[in-house]
Amino acid sequence: MAEIRFYHLTRYRLEEALTRLLRRVLERQDRAVIMASTSERVEALNAHLWTYDPASFLPHGSAKDGHAAEQPIYLTAQLENPNGAKLLMLCDGAPAPATEALGALGYELVCELFNGHDDEAVAEARTHWRLYREAGHKIAYFQQNDEGGWVDKTQA
C-alpha cells in the first residue's frame, strides 16, 4: 500500500508550493512524477520550472522533452512512471489512481496538492481521501501555516 499525503494550499499558489516540495525531493536524490489534469497544464508547469528562478534549476522534463527515463522530475497528464519514481504528485484536479495501479507502477508515496480556496478542489480532495481510506492506505493531511510551512493536521 502506498502512503498518501494531502497538501492543502492556503498561502502559496500551486507553482510555488510545488517548486518548494520538488527541491526537497531532489535534495534527497529521489525522483518524482508530477501528474496534472491536462497536457496544457503539464506544459505550463514545465515552462514554470524552467523560469521560476533564474539563479537555480530543477532538472525536469515532459514527453515533449524526451528522455523520460533520465528525468529526475517528470511531468505528465497520464498515469505512468517512465522515470522509475517512487513518488507521484497529483495536482490541478488529476484523478486519484486506483490502488492496483499505484502498486503496479511502483509508487510508494502519493502527494495530492489542492487549492484550499477552491471549493471544488476541496470537495474533490475529500472524495479522494475517502477512496484512499476505503482502499486501506495510510493517509496524512498537511496544511500550510502563515509562513508557508507545512503543519501535520492528520490527528487534528
Among 100, 109, 129, 98, residue whose Cα is nearest residue 32 = 109
**In this structure, what C-alpha cell is assigned to residue 99?**
490502488
Longest Cα separation, the chain: 44
User: Residue 58's domain is classified under what CATH number?
Assistant: 3.40.50.10110
pTM of the model: 0.93
Within a domain: 1: no
Within a domain: 22: yes
Please count the structural domains in the chain.
1
* pLDDT tens-digit profile, the chain (156 residues): 899 999 999 988 899 889 989 999 999 999 999 999 999 999 999 988 888 777 778 899 999 988 999 999 999 999 999 999 999 999 998 999 998 899 899 999 999 999 999 999 999 999 999 999 999 999 999 999 888 888 999 875
Within a domain: 30: yes
Domain boundaries, position 65: 6-152
**C-alpha distance from residue 134 to each of 55, 79, 92, 98 (Å):** 44, 21, 23, 11
Within a domain: 115: yes
